[in-house]
Amino acid sequence: MWKIIVSLFLIDQGTKAIAKKKIENKGKKKLGPFDFLYVKNKGAVMGFLKKYPNLLKTLHIFTLLLVLYMWHKEVKMILLKSMSYAFVLGGGLGNLYDRFKRGYVIDFFSLPIKKLPYFNMADIFILWGILGLLIF
């Protein structure tokens, strides 16, 4: 599972590097059903806690450690549940890395639905992982 976590982290960081290179300072672009815009998100979802970066980093680390603990606590677990934990951890590490390296998370695409925030691959991995955990 560690290879999956590292792979997800690398996919997330790679897509953020591409977004930085291709769309930073270029305004909103539309490609198919997606809107692309380089966003420096200093908070959590929709900027939540952006005025408290140290608290946000602490909560992020605590949450990842809690997920890691829960993952290792469940010795006998079906593969898909284990993969769900890996997705949460891989995505969470991608966003945590951004918070420490840049002081913000790079978000860069969205669907043109009213009030839907911009997000990144890490956010998608976390969402898939949480959905998997809810199912299993």
- Residues taking part in catalysis: 107, 123
In degrees, rounded to 5, the angle at the alpha carbon of residue 109 between the alpha carbons of residues 104 and 112 is 130
CA distance 63 to 102: 20
> Quick count: other Cβ atoms within 10 Å of Cβ 56?
19
Nearest CA to 67 out of 89, 45, 95 is that of 89
Q: Which two tokens stand for residue 129?
A: 């992982």
Is 105 in a helix, a strand, or coil? strand
Q: How far, in Å, are 70, 79, 85, 101 from residue 76 at the CA level?
A: 12, 9, 14, 36
Q: Which two tokens stand for residue 74?
A: 């469940």
